[in-house]
Amino acid sequence: MADESSDRFALPLLAAGQAQKEITHNEALARIDMLLHARAESLSQTAPPGAAAPGQCWIVASGATGEWAGRDHCLAMLTAGGWRFVAPRAGLRVEVADEGAVYRHDGSSWLPDAARQDGYYVNGQRIVGPRGDAIGDPAGGSVVDVEVRAAMAQLLAALRSHGLIAEA
């Protein structure tokens, strides 16, 4: 048969006249269950955890051993029938519970998303963090520079409108 599995995630396809179609169908459903709104417990383990429950997933870390050997970077889910694996494709996003972050696969490795709970990152460096406290408009002082005050007011208005600082 030419097409025994789907093109993107290698889900098993039914064949005409196939006996025991439920086995192929159930295998496909198990993998879809793993990929739909994917959530992994961790991406740092190289071996299956001893206390895993069916339905829990992990992203297999490099240098995997035991039942995970040879499955580096794959998404692994424990099912009643044992471990199921799906090789990631570029663009796959998985929430990683122990880090409270979303990771995406770029085609060769897992990378944290730019938007995280503690800010927005570019090239691994946080460029926007949590919202800052309110900053009052300039007032007082011994010398009043109207142009500087106008520029500062515009700057503060922009920071407030983007939600980077609270309203004064």
- State pLDDT tens for residues 82-119: 898 989 999 999 999 999 899 999 999 999 999 888 88
Q: What is the count of structural domains for the chain?
A: 2
106 and 69 co-located in one domain: yes
Q: What is the mean pLDDT of residues 134-160?
A: 86
Structural domain contains residue 12? no
Whole-structure pTM over 0.75, yes or no? Answer: no
Same domain assignment for residues 62 and 123: yes
What mean pLDDT comes out for the span 34-38? 74
Q: Are 96 and 103 in contact (CB under 8 A)?
A: yes
Q: Give the separation between CA 75 and CA 77, rounded to whole angstroms.
A: 7
137 confidence band (pLDDT: 50, 70, 90) = confident
Among candidate residues 53, 60, 61, the one with its CA nearest the CA of residue 78: 53
What is the average per-residue pLDDT within 41-65?
A: 94
Pairing of strands 125-128, 119-122: antiparallel
What domain range is 86 assigned to?
37-128
Residues 43 and 124 in one domain: yes
